[in-house]
Structure 1
Amino acid sequence: MKQALFLLLLAFSRDVLAWGTPDWVKAAAKMPLPAYAAGTAGVVLIDETTATVRNDGAIETRRRQAFRILSTEGRDLAEARVDFSSLVELVSFHAWSIAGNGDEWEVKEREAMERGLSDNTELYTDEKRKIIQIPAAEPGTVTAFEYVTRERAPQVLQDSWTFQRELPVRSARYTLVLPRGWSHDETWFNAVAKEPRIDGESVIWEVADVPAIADEVGRPPQRAVAGRLAVNFYPHAQTARRSWNDIGVWYNGLIAGRRTITPEMRAKVTELTAGDVDTIGNIAKLAGFVQKDIRYVAIEIGVGGHQPHAASEIFANRYGDCKDKVTLLSAMLQAIGVESHYVIATTRRGTVDQQFASLDAFNHVIIAIRLPREMKSNALHAIVEHPKAGRLLLFDPTSMTTPLGELPGYAQRNRGLLITETGGDLIELPPFAPETNQFHRTATLALDDAGLLSGVVTETSRGTVAAALREKLQPLTNPKRLQMIEQQVGLHLANFKISNLNIYNLDDMAKNLVIRYTLSASSYGKKAGPLLLVRPRVLGEKAETQLDLKNRKYDYETEGSSLQVDEIEIAVPPSFTPDELPQNTKIANETLSYESETSFDKGVLHYKRQYRMKQYDVPVGRLAELNKAFAAILADERSSAVFKAKN
């Protein structure tokens, strides 16, 4: 019995104790390191990728990474991951570690955990992930892994190498091995271009001592700021760079035949549009059906990550993902004689670069509906004019809180790939004026002699402001909705109570969202001897943040364009008269404007302010000006009116 147990333990230990740690891992462990800032979680010692392309276009990728854990915050560097699917085969996967005391460990692929990558919006996906937990996850340990994947039929012959991350990188290398006679082009992002080294059929790029991406408030998405190399390769001598039109031609092959309308679908179109001869009204009815009645569920197998299901299948099942919803809506629009196009989009602003045509940055699909030029569209803000496709109304049928004529915040001032019959064209999605995204708060309140503030608050919103609130409120029960409002009010008041909460037009996106409640807050008026202090700004904050500009590297992404107005009235006890009111504030620059005014008339303290955010992002060179504006707004929000007791 003891001998059997010994053999079992020995068999297990051989899976994790290294009998031959690779030389590249040992070399990484001996790398000298420069001094890093205190608290740095770890450092990437080696990051090597070799992409070998075969004559049939298949790509084999070997990835090696080694890290040194520098603090307890870096323990997650002992987790190695690799994703694969029916399109990308996992060939091999190993991991190793060398502890601070010199102990060496190895974990083989059979010890890895495997799980699917589907979430609660996906019914099924064949994308999977293997995870290896590497032993000795302590400061001083070097962890490493290596995997090999094989993509037999790439969608597009290109690759992307991101060599900068939120850890410093000591050494990184990308090797492209092409068959004889093939060619490539390269594009660098957020980094100085490096000349490659040629070694036979291998093209090798190397970088060293790459700084970490700073974790800054309001920083653009990592892809928008990380150092990256993108490569196209061609099975011939290069004649022209791969273009956005080429990507569109490829996508047209995926959507061909998918928008065929069936008798059942045509009958539904007739039912929805019966008695309405107004084109935009009919478009709105069909858009509303797809938006509300087609549940968002994804089934992605192989190329299904890009290719939609047939419209008939989506209609019958009453579910689909973003590209499926666009497919069904496009088919139904055909039935009323309205032309439309796919727009491949992204929810991450700033990640699509015009100079490199690729689907890599896209993660979403919306629709562009062609409108007659003579149609009035003053109430439709999501309009773009295209030289060939004409006047286009953009719409996201996946967003359950964005009505026809508007765009979700992530799509505003972004980029999308318009798919036409002849190919693709990268277009600019429109920015929205602040007036389209409004928030208006009114409060009629009274303060008693004990300092209790009470009254009614009404908050009216539209555009992206309303969409964000609807997204939070719609799934909640009434008690949870009250709790959410209480949490928001609790950021500004203590010892308060909310009652008589009413929410209007929560599910009617065509109307403004209105939230009304009764508020009472004890000890709001602060007495200091014969003086009474009252803060005119009862609720809400307009200044987004205060930025640390000492070592700021990146631009700042705002919360988006908006126009926000507060109008507060506080009836003051008749036994007090004003002694000093806060000074009015007025700020105006290229990014925002802000005006506040405090007055007292007939026993009522009036406070009115207007905040207009005009930009979606602010260059780092203008952040000092932005900080100054935010500081002035904060000072105004904290100021108090001073009253004195009447003699």
Structure 2
Amino acid sequence: MRGCLLLLALTALVAPAQGVSKLPDWAVPSAQAAQSEPGPQDAEAWVLLDRTEMAYTGGGEVRLRRLRLLKVLEERGTRFRQYSISGLGGKASRVKRLKGWNLRPDGELVKLDSDRVESMNDAFDEEFSTSTLTSASLGRVVKGSLLAFESLESLQSPIGPVASTRLLESLPVRTWELEVAKSEGWFNNLQAVEIKIDRRHFKPWVDLVEELPEGGMRVRGLPALPTDEGAHPHGNEVLPVVQVRFLDPKLPVAAMWGSWDAYACWTAETFRTPCQPTGLPGMKGMAGLEGLRSLWAWMRQGLTYKQVYLSPERGWVPEGAAEVGRKRYGDCKDLSAFFMGEAKGLGFTTAPALAAIGLGYMDADASPFPIFNHVISALRLEKSLGLAAEVDTKQGRFLLVDPTDMGTPLGFLSSAHEHGRVMICLPTGAVWVDVPATAILPQRLVFQLKGEVTGRELKGSINLKESGGYWGLRVAARRGGAKAIHDLLLRSYLDLPPTASLEVETISDPLDLDRPFEASVKVKHPEGFRIQQGGEGYLTDLGLPVVRDAIQRVGKARRYPIVSYAHGELDYQAELKFTSTVKPFVETQSVETPFRTFTWNSHAIPHGTGTLLKLNFHQQTLPMRFGFEALDSGLKAWKKDRTAVKTFRDDALAFRVGQP
């Protein structure tokens, strides 16, 4: 018996590896090489090969061939049976071929059926567009399956022959490859043009790059993107990417990617014709600041922000101002074209300005590439109008205006532009401008609670006064009135149980930008004051800052930089009448962390047989960034901030009940 057991053990050690010859030829070497290697720990699946091949065939067309091979390591990894390609639709992007193979551990090969390939038009909820999402799903995937996908795409973007590919993803990658200008098979009739291949943000993510012919490259052993790290910048700012530009001198939209100046000139020309004055009623004879204020008032009353892209070109080419005025809606390009056209009629020289909202700080020294996602307006000023969003440049003084910010007064920009940079596009070239801090409309919320506490029940009224979109109340009111305010408060800011009630009594005019937006609500909370054994009571927070989530898993090394943005100023005031006597455990507190400063005052005043409790809280949040070189310091600062807020909430909202 012992000999049989030993024979079985030896047989297991020399058992043949999973046969991989049924896979496509390009996948076999990677599959074979990986069989002798242990898979990454804690990974659902392992990408054995991620290869992108691209080439330029002339006339603006870029062809892509993508090859992907992965191994399913855990049951949860079976979800990676799906492969998706997003595109602009129309003639701008077409999926020519999409194939798939599932080699199961029992040796059975399941190929991708045509009915498992689906293309959806208008794939994104926030807009009407020609955008497409093509997906393929392999059947009968199990733990141990080897999944291979091959796709061919033709790209002919209205913005020119440019393409990019990222290195990191949610799974670890054994081998990542890029090859450019390969000349065989699908890549026939290649055009000899200048090719620019730019690597961005490789450090500290990528240690070693193996160079391949024609500018290609190979990287081995890429880790999975961290999924448990919060408070990090947008990936465009820090994650490794390769950007490829095919500079075809015969194609204007290709040649413009040789410099930022060329791109700025193209953008300026694109906006020149659409930006023509339409002659709005009541604007005749107006000029200067008075005219701009009247125009701004008309736009927030008469126009709506909406994305409608019925052709791929609409992603970059605005509608004419007259058409925008007729339809009464448009996206950022359209509203900017309308504003600039009418501003021309008021005597201003205008220019489009490109911004990147939520994508990090744009580097003017980097190679030109389509990195912008937003268009605003720049008005040249002969002299200052005394507005906060004015900027001085070598090419003169400009006023920056975002026509999509209908809740922001003229002369300010919303917090979406904070710490941002824009590129003003003049007919002579690019003008880069850092958005000044003074241009951002200050965000502030005054929270005033008046009510009474009887036993456990709290009921009263809350008056909210918001400047600069602190909670987004003005925007919500404009979209959905009192109901939208009600839903926003319940969903995001007031921790009310299902047994509580909330009623919006009044709201101010969300279009009145000359004063803060106000809303008043009635609230009834049956457990607003939780009384525990031992004579302690805990008051519900009703709008005080919550403890922020942890941004790092214990025992894991931090990979991302740590970024926190200033959210504004909170002034919290509460006046509550208790039928019982209460006394605060903490009467005053002052805290300062790298991310915020706040003060707390609690005064208990005898009132008949009960107590009049007055609470005051004031907080100012601070912008802070800890780069790759200061991750340990950033984690310590974040932990300090979380501890400070948690301690505050535990102590400041606790009271002695029924004691003098």
Q: What range describes the TM-score normalised by the shorter chain of this pair?
A: 0.7 to 0.9
Contact 2:257 2:263 in 1 (8 A): no
- Report what 2:616 is aligned to: 608
Equivalent residue in structure 1 for 2:104, among 76, 99, 103? 99
Evaluate the alpha carbon distance shift between residue 415 and residue 117 of structure 1 in structure 2; reply closer, same or farther with a 3 A threshold.
farther
Distance in 1 separating the partners of 2:327 and 2:503: 43
Q: Which runs of 5+ in 1 are unaligned?
A: 1-17
Contact 1:323 1:365 in 2 (8 A): yes
Are residues 1:472 and 2:476 paired?
A: yes
Q: Give the AA of the match of 1:327.
A: A
Deviation of residue 486 (structure 1)? 3.8
Tell me the TM-score normalized by structure 2: 0.83
Contact 2:158 2:312 in 1 (8 A): no
Are residues 1:345 and 2:355 paired?
A: yes
Are residues 1:334 and 2:344 paired?
A: yes
- Report what 2:163 is aligned to: 159
Q: Which runs of 5+ in 2 are unaligned?
A: 1-19, 183-190, 250-254
Equivalent residue in structure 2 for 1:383, among 390, 397, 402? 390
Deviation of residue 78 (structure 1)? 1.5
Question: Where do 1:40-439 residues align within 5 Å?
Answer: 40-54=43-57, 58-84=61-87, 85=89, 86-107=91-112, 112-117=117-122, 119=124, 122-125=127-130, 127-151=131-155, 155-177=159-181, 182=194, 184-191=196-203, 192=206, 197-199=211-213, 202-215=214-227, 216-234=229-247, 242-261=258-277, 265-266=278-279, 268=280, 271-273=281-283, 279-295=288-304, 296-350=306-360, 352-377=362-387, 380=388, 382-395=389-402, 397-431=403-437, 436-439=442-445
Q: Give the AA of the match of 1:592.
A: R
Contact 1:413 1:432 in 2 (8 A): no
Partner SS state of residue 333, structure 2: helix
Are residues 1:624 and 2:633 paired?
A: no
Contact 2:51 2:176 in 1 (8 A): yes
Contact 1:460 1:513 in 2 (8 A): yes
Contact 1:326 1:367 in 2 (8 A): yes
Are residues 1:585 and 2:589 paired?
A: yes
Contact 1:558 1:618 in 2 (8 A): no
Contact 2:83 2:149 in 1 (8 A): yes
Q: Give the AA of the match of 2:552.
A: D
Residues 154-199 of structure 1: per-residue CA shift (max 9 Å, x gap): 7345432211112111111011128667453533324358666353
Residues 241-279 of structure 1: per-residue CA shift (max 9 Å, x gap): 933212212323433422233xxx12x1xx2436866x3
Contact 1:162 1:228 in 2 (8 A): yes
Residues 224-252 of structure 1: per-residue CA shift (max 9 Å, x gap): 3322122344469xx99933212212323
Deviation of residue 567 (structure 1)? 1.3
Contact 1:440 1:461 in 2 (8 A): yes
Partner SS state of residue 476, structure 1: helix
Identify which range, 41-50 or 423-432, moves more after superposition: 423-432
Distance in 2 separating the partners of 1:75 and 1:534: 47
Distance in 2 separating the partners of 1:154 and 1:435: 35
Contact 1:532 1:643 in 2 (8 A): yes
Q: Give the AA of the match of 2:321.
A: A
Residues 472-500 of structure 1: per-residue CA shift (max 9 Å, x gap): 34433645643443445652668533346
Question: Where do 1:524-535 residues align within 5 Å?
Answer: 524-527=528-531, 531-535=535-539
Evaluate the alpha carbon distance shift between residue 212 and residue 309 of structure 1 in structure 2; reply closer, same or farther with a 3 A threshold.
same
Residues 396-445 of structure 1: per-residue CA shift (max 9 Å, x gap): x2244334333333322122221112122333233469981001111122
Contact 1:52 1:177 in 2 (8 A): yes
- Report what 1:7 is aligned to: none
Q: Give the AA of the match of 1:286.
A: L
- Report what 2:648 is aligned to: 636
Partner SS state of residue 23, structure 1: coil
Equivalent residue in structure 2 for 1:22, among 8, 21, 24? 24
- Report what 1:14 is aligned to: none
Distance in 1 separating the partners of 2:551 and 2:616: 26
Identify which range, 558-567 or 107-116, moves more after superposition: 107-116
Q: Give the AA of the match of 1:386.
A: T
Distance in 2 separating the partners of 1:361 and 1:230: 11
Partner SS state of residue 618, structure 2: strand
Deviation of residue 513 (structure 1)? 1.7
Deviation of residue 529 (structure 1)? 6.2
Distance in 2 separating the partners of 1:635 and 1:492: 22
Evaluate the alpha carbon distance shift between residue 434 and residue 565 of structure 1 in structure 2; reply closer, same or farther with a 3 A threshold.
farther
- Report what 1:13 is aligned to: none
Distance in 2 separating the partners of 1:129 and 1:529: 58
Deviation of residue 537 (structure 1)? 4.5
Partner SS state of residue 144, structure 2: coil
Identify which range, 517-526 or 212-221, moves more after superposition: 517-526
Contact 2:52 2:66 in 1 (8 A): yes
Tell me the TM-score normalized by structure 1: 0.84
Could you say what the CA RMSD is over the residues aligned between the two structures, in angstroms? 3.3
Partner SS state of residue 255, structure 1: helix
Deviation of residue 528 (structure 1)? 5.0
Q: Give the AA of the match of 1:613.
A: T
Are residues 1:504 and 2:508 paired?
A: yes
Partner SS state of residue 47, structure 1: strand
Are residues 1:442 and 2:423 paired?
A: no
- Report what 1:558 is aligned to: 564
Contact 1:247 1:357 in 2 (8 A): no
Contact 1:435 1:563 in 2 (8 A): no
Distance in 1 separating the partners of 2:502 and 2:158: 57
Evaluate the alpha carbon distance shift between residue 137 and residue 339 of structure 1 in structure 2; reply closer, same or farther with a 3 A threshold.
farther
Partner SS state of residue 331, structure 1: helix
Evaluate the alpha carbon distance shift between residue 483 and residue 155 of structure 1 in structure 2; reply closer, same or farther with a 3 A threshold.
closer
Evaluate the alpha carbon distance shift between residue 228 and residue 272 of structure 1 in structure 2; reply closer, same or farther with a 3 A threshold.
same
Evaluate the alpha carbon distance shift between residue 545 and residue 431 of structure 1 in structure 2; reply closer, same or farther with a 3 A threshold.
farther
Equivalent residue in structure 1 for 2:543, among 529, 539, 546? 539
Distance in 1 separating the partners of 2:541 and 2:377: 42
Residues 450-480 of structure 1: per-residue CA shift (max 9 Å, x gap): 23323222121110315x2233344336456
Identify which range, 527-536 or 54-63, moves more after superposition: 527-536
Equivalent residue in structure 2 for 1:459, among 444, 464, 476? 464
- Report what 2:14 is aligned to: none
Report how many residues are paired.
Answer: 609
Q: List, as ranges, runs of 4+ consecutive aligned residues in structure 1 with deviation greater than 6 Å.
A: none
